[in-house]
Homo-oligomer: A and B are copies of this chain.
Amino acid sequence: MEAKQSDDAAVLIPKPESKGKAVVDAPPPPPVAVAARKATVLRRVGWKKGVAIFDFVLRIGAAAAAFAAATAVGQAEQVLPFFTQFLQFHVEFTDLPTLTFFVVANATAGGYLVLSLPFSITCIIRPHKVGPRLFLIILDSVMTALTIAAAGATTAIMYLAHNGSTDANWLAVCQQYTDFCQQVTGAVVASFVAAVFLILLVAVSAFALKRSSH
């Protein structure tokens, strides 16, 4: 904010600068230098706007991936076509606490990403504002952690479900529940995509914050 003020002041106070090339004859600064300076400022603002728009697009992509992951696991269930006297073979995400965490974490991240869109728009409209960007970079990294933790945990569980573990005497349950496992594995990939987008968002915000210092 202060940076912006000082920029504005520098542009506005010596009158002839406000319209660059058109005005002549102003004794204080030579017009060519002023025009060059104004072009630099404009280019900088354009660069920042571009970054902010990229941030906005990434955010929508990450939200879509997170919601897709949450929905895919939330709706995945499978009933096997055979059953014993005592139980029917039926699986859904609430059977494994890790999958419940996966759904909650991805839904939370998706919800946050949608709610953060207005802040991203603020950054597009006012590319020099540092406050919203700082707010976004910190919450983005927390949400990255949440998404990655959920994706990592589910990967570990799905690896066990696919391959089992002879040492722990755990069977590869995916040999029965093929469709369910496929759907959850797809959701894990979507969740990792969301996480990569979120890491990119942190990097983009860091670059934008750096640019603020110019």
A residues within 8 Å of B by Cβ? 1-3, 6-7, 9-10, 13-14, 17, 91, 95-98, 130, 133-134, 137-138, 141-142, 144-145, 148-157, 159-161, 165, 167-171, 173, 195, 199, 202-203, 205-207, 209-210, 212-214
Give Cα A138–Cα B170 distance, bound, in whole angstroms: 39
User: Interface SS of chain A: helix, strand, loop or mixed?
Assistant: helix
Q: Which residues of B contact A130 (CB under 8 A)?
A: 210, 213
Instruction: Please give the count of copies of this chain that the complex contains.
Output: 2
Query: Which of A97, A149, A151, A214 has most chain B Cβ within 10 Å?
Result: A149
Give which listed residue, B6, B134, B141, B207, contacts A207 with CB less than 8 A: B134
Query: Which of A91, A153, A199 has most chain B Cβ within 10 Å?
Result: A153
Closest Cβ–Cβ distance, residue A203 to chain B (whole Å): 5
Q: Which residues of B contact A210 (CB under 8 A)?
A: 130, 133-134, 209, 212
